[in-house]
A and B are shown apart, each in its own frame.
Chain A
Amino acid sequence: MFKRWLLLFCASACAAAVFETVKPPGLDFLHQNSPTRQKYLVETMGGGVALLDYNNDGLLDVFLVNSGKIEDRPRAPETFARNDPRYWNRLFRQNPDGSFTDVTKQAGLAQAGEGNYGMGVAAADYDNDGYTDLFVTSLGKNVLYHNNGDGTFTDVTARAGVAGGGWSVSAGFFDYDNDGKLDLFVTRYMEWDTAHSKSCNEPIHMYCPPGEFPATTNLLYHNLGAGRFQDVSAKSGIAAIKGRALGVAFNDYDGDGFPDVFVANDGMEEFLFHNNGNGAFTEKALDAGVALSADGSPFSGMGVDFRDYDNDGRPDILVTDLARQTYALFHNEGHGTFQYQSLQAGLGAISSGSSGWGMRFEDFDNDGWKDLFVAQGHVMDNVEKVDPSLHWLEPPMLALNQHGHFERADAGFPTPVAGRGAAFGDINNDGWTDVLMSVLGGRPILFRNRGGTNHWLTITLRGTQSNRDGFGAIVKVNGQTQYAGAAGSYLSSSDKRVHFGLDQAAKADVEVQWPSGIDQKLTGVAVDRFLTIREPENKQ
């Protein structure tokens, strides 16, 4: 009898954390943000991370974006020296035993980014050659690395025409015109450089709020093929409106077959660029109900995800922001409109005291409902001086999705840190999604999923008519919907495989709506496996 009670008690109180944090041998990286007395805003914003399989060995590798050296000289332009190996971006190859090897030098990625302060990363096979390429954003010039397929990369930025300029932040590949070639969207934060920085909130010298600096435009590059891109920011209407963008995510919110773009802006109205299907976009956030919170207040949009959290088949939007604002969840009501649902979904109770960055809706317990992981920490490193109830360092947040309602769970890491980027993927190929979170000025933290008994299915898409990665495909499995892609979160790029938790289901019915318009259905698919689905050459 006593044992029975103990078991009942433990079912709730002794539940093991979903994750355990591990330090895999060889994953040795220390992010260098070079905090200064000047309190340059850029130094609190960095930390991109990507999970990608660059050598197609079936194991996820890790790319970490470093920031750079700042000399901390008052009122002098900074050079952001990156020669010192401490400031390099790093590529870590995963070995079969789960350890990692730093292959930065041999991959041709060493000494990269000289003169630029590194921010984020996007990973995708932009030239459909079967190897995942890398795009690194910076304060300064962005860099596109072509994966040569032999373990090395080549800087093809100049030829591709994607260097950009200014302060680029998050980026993502998507095929906005469904022509089978991945295009590139780059968010830019503001018009800012060290020579035009400001001192704010004296006498307590703090990082300036974004409104102190002029807004700027985002960048859209159309993939022309043959390794070249065209800047269509103006032509497409993307540059018609200026913002202070940090995060970007893609999905087709109105089901018209063309991917739309949500841009998380900091301290102003958010942007929802509706894809008109003719190469042009129209900003519709206010009409769609996603520009502001329920009371009409702007919030500090940072990270973003654009996925269906309540399994109604329509993509919803979640934006992380600063403490006191509540992470903004916009539920897709259909007909092109959304409703602010943060409080109803339980996010008021668990997020209003926290500041969030990288995140994603992902089914961590494989129960068929997408949960939520958020990298957290306030933007101000001295925020406690102004408000002791706010915190510069915070532990990340894990919230489990109970049929559309989020409840806080043990993320397995109670230590407060300055979390920033977060990439999601099955690092040890056990069918349970792991998380790699970057830490500003610190070492990345790997959250390895402890797993469980629920079933799962992880799908690799192989586009033939569509882009090879299958980005933009809508994949439906047993009543759940996923949008294929690696973008979202903050500064980060996730595993491009599409993962489904299946609870107790022993079989899966799969439908793939490819960007090409081809619909593909598979029934009675065996579960607990990695499945590759190749796009048919012709419509079925």
Chain B
Amino acid sequence: MIAVLWIWLAWQAAPNNELLQHVKAGMAARQAGNLKEAVAEFRKVTELAPTLPAAFVNLGAVELQDRDYAEATKALQRALQLQPDLTGAEQLLGYSLLAQGYAADALPHLEKAGDPGALGIAQEETGHFPDAIQNLSKALEQHPGDPDLLYYLGRASGLLSKQNFDTLLATQPDSARAHLAEAENLAVLRRVPEAEKEFQAALRLRPDLPGAHLELGKLYQTASDWTQAEREFRAAAQLEPGDAEAAYRLGSALLEEGKPKEARVALDRSNSLLPKMPETLYSLGQAASMEGDAAAAEQAWNEQLAVEDHTPLAKKAHFGLATLYRKQGKTAEAAKQMEEYRETSHP
């Protein structure tokens, strides 16, 4: 866009040789990376043609490139005074203001420019999280994997989430959901007794509160209290029989309690609800192995390895298979699995 402006400027200034020389010198300096010199040349152009909007756009663009945002802002504002419909100038001015932290001031310019990425960032900075998420998502579709966009989208999502939880806690502090939100915050900090209290308060108000039993079970799991974890996961699985995670967690707790038979029932259910989950398949192998069902253990672990290999969980499956084959006297197979196990240990 800037190059087009330069050409246009050169054409406009054709009758004026001095002006054209400064334009050319500015362009050359910019191409050579001498931004200070380019700024000086383009400034002379604005002095020679003080009513030419493109001259100010070019000056602002180079100043922006030189990270002199204050001067860039002045030049770009002047350009827009001279010609309010310059979309390129709106975009550059938005960038310049955003770079200086004037996100609110940048917003109208970026809206006019129609740049969803920069607009999303400005919206995130000004607390307009839903709009920011929408625009940043749109920008990411155009530039997949862009680290800046991913960062700001993540940040906006997190802040929106926090904003909603803050609203919940401020407006409905005694609701079951408020207690649940508080409990989850405390659980993240591993403050087990306080989190437990909040979970229980939530469940007192709404015994069937979706997610509460599951999260409370995870809290007990964190504290290695498997008996209570089992109770909560069982409640979660009963309330939400279609929830594969609840069934998986119940199976895992039962395994820790040394109840492989019951664990297999829960894990089989989880596997039927959400097949090919490596965690479920590994635990199924573990449960079968604990029950002495070598064939089922072998099948589950091989299924798991077919889904994913060379992961920490796959390493465990290789070790399980090696142990199983060693017990069966299958020395070569055991050695092969141990080799895989060791390779995963030392990638």
Enumerate chain A interface residues (CB-CB to B < 8 A). 286-287, 289, 292, 294-297, 323-324, 326, 333, 337, 339, 343-349, 352-354, 387-389, 405
Chain A residue contacts of B318, Cβ below 8 A: 296
Chain B residue contacts of A405, Cβ below 8 A: 258
Q: Cβ of B69 < 8 Å from any Cβ of A?
A: no
A353 & B224 in contact (Cβ 8 Å cutoff): yes
Chain A residue contacts of B338, Cβ below 8 A: 286
B319 & A343 in contact (Cβ 8 Å cutoff): no
- Given contacts A344-B260, A387-B190, A388-B191, are A323 and B224 in contact (CB under 8 A)? yes
Q: Cβ of B227 < 8 Å from any Cβ of A?
A: yes
- Given contacts A349-B227, A353-B224, are A296 and B319 in contact (CB under 8 A)? yes
How far is A243 from B190 in the complex, measured between Cα atoms in Å?
A: 33
Instruction: Select from chain A the residue with minimum beta-carbon distance to B225.
Output: A353
Chain A residue contacts of B258, Cβ below 8 A: 343-349, 405
B255 to chain A, nearest CB (A): 6
| 4 closest cross-chain pairs (CB), A and B | A296-B319, A353-B224, A295-B316, A348-B256
- Given contacts A343-B255, A387-B190, A388-B189, are A294 and B224 in contact (CB under 8 A)? no
Stretch at the interface among B70-78, B206-214, B235-243, B320-328: B320-328
Instruction: Select from chain B the residue with minimum beta-carbon distance to A388.
Output: B190
Name 23 A/B residue pairs within 8 A (Cβ), A-sorted: A287-B326, A289-B326, A294-B319, A294-B320, A295-B319, A296-B315, A296-B341, A333-B327, A337-B326, A337-B327, A339-B323, A339-B327, A343-B260, A344-B260, A345-B258, A348-B256, A348-B258, A349-B256, A349-B257, A353-B225, A389-B192, A389-B223, A389-B224
Q: Cβ of B96 < 8 Å from any Cβ of A?
A: no
Q: Cβ of B286 < 8 Å from any Cβ of A?
A: yes
A353 & B255 in contact (Cβ 8 Å cutoff): no
B287 to chain A, nearest CB (A): 10
Q: Cβ of B222 < 8 Å from any Cβ of A?
A: yes
How far is A292 from B320 in the complex, measured between Cα atoms in Å?
A: 11
Q: Cβ of B49 < 8 Å from any Cβ of A?
A: no
Q: Which of B291-347 contact A (CB under 8 A)?
A: 315-316, 318-320, 323, 326-327, 338, 341
Chain B residue contacts of A339, Cβ below 8 A: 323, 327
Query: How big is the B interface, by class?
Result: 20 to 34
B192 & A289 in contact (Cβ 8 Å cutoff): no
A343 & B224 in contact (Cβ 8 Å cutoff): no
- Given contacts A348-B257, A348-B258, are A296 and B326 in contact (CB under 8 A)? no
How far is A348 from B258 in the complex, measured between Cα atoms in Å?
A: 7
Q: Tell me if A's interface is mostly helix, strand, loop or mixed.
A: loop
How far is A297 from B189 in the complex, measured between Cα atoms in Å?
A: 26
- Contact partner, B224, options A286, A333, A337, A352, Cβ 8 Å: A352
- Given contacts A289-B326, A343-B255, A349-B227, are A296 and B190 in contact (CB under 8 A)? no
Enumerate chain B interface residues (CB-CB to A < 8 A). 189-192, 222-227, 255-258, 260, 286, 289-290, 315-316, 318-320, 323, 326-327, 338, 341
A394 to chain B, nearest CB (A): 12
- Given contacts A295-B316, A346-B258, A387-B190, are A324 and B224 in contact (CB under 8 A)? yes
- Contact partner, B223, options A286, A326, A353, Cβ 8 Å: A353
B323 & A294 in contact (Cβ 8 Å cutoff): yes
Chain A residue contacts of B189, Cβ below 8 A: 388
A343 & B256 in contact (Cβ 8 Å cutoff): yes
A295 & B320 in contact (Cβ 8 Å cutoff): yes
How far is A72 from B323 in the complex, measured between Cα atoms in Å?
A: 47
Chain B residue contacts of A349, Cβ below 8 A: 226-227, 256-258
Interface centre among A286, A323, A343 (most CB of B within 10 A): A343
Chain B residue contacts of A352, Cβ below 8 A: 224, 226, 256
Chain A residue contacts of B223, Cβ below 8 A: 353, 389
A533 to chain B, nearest CB (A): 38
- Given contacts A292-B319, A295-B316, are A344 and B341 in contact (CB under 8 A)? no
Instruction: Select from chain A the residue with minimum beta-carbon distance to B313.
Output: A295
How far is A287 from B315 in the complex, measured between Cα atoms in Å?
A: 18
Instruction: Select from chain B the residue with minimum beta-carbon distance to A384.
Output: B190
Q: Add 10 more A-B contacts to A294-B320, A296-B341, A352-B226 (CB < 8 A).
A: A296-B315, A296-B316, A323-B224, A337-B326, A337-B327, A348-B256, A348-B257, A352-B256, A353-B223, A388-B192
How far is A387 from B189 in the complex, measured between Cα atoms in Å?
A: 8
Chain A residue contacts of B222, Cβ below 8 A: 389
How far is A354 from B226 in the complex, measured between Cα atoms in Å?
A: 13
A495 to chain B, nearest CB (A): 31
Chain B residue contacts of A347, Cβ below 8 A: 258
A443 to chain B, nearest CB (A): 29
B210 to chain A, nearest CB (A): 25
A297 to chain B, nearest CB (A): 8
Chain B residue contacts of A337, Cβ below 8 A: 326-327
Chain B residue contacts of A289, Cβ below 8 A: 323, 326
Chain A residue contacts of B320, Cβ below 8 A: 294-296
Instruction: Select from chain B the residue with minimum beta-carbon distance to A405.
Output: B258
B19 to chain A, nearest CB (A): 61
Chain B residue contacts of A387, Cβ below 8 A: 190
Instruction: Select from chain A the residue with minimum beta-carbon distance to B229.
Output: A349
A295 & B286 in contact (Cβ 8 Å cutoff): yes
How far is A352 from B222 in the complex, measured between Cα atoms in Å?
A: 10
B252 to chain A, nearest CB (A): 11
Instruction: Select from chain A the residue with minimum beta-carbon distance to B291.
Output: A344
How far is A345 from B290 in the complex, measured between Cα atoms in Å?
A: 11
- Given contacts A348-B226, A353-B224, A389-B223, are A294 and B286 in contact (CB under 8 A)? yes
How far is A294 from B315 in the complex, measured between Cα atoms in Å?
A: 12
Instruction: Select from chain B the residue with minimum beta-carbon distance to A324.
Output: B224
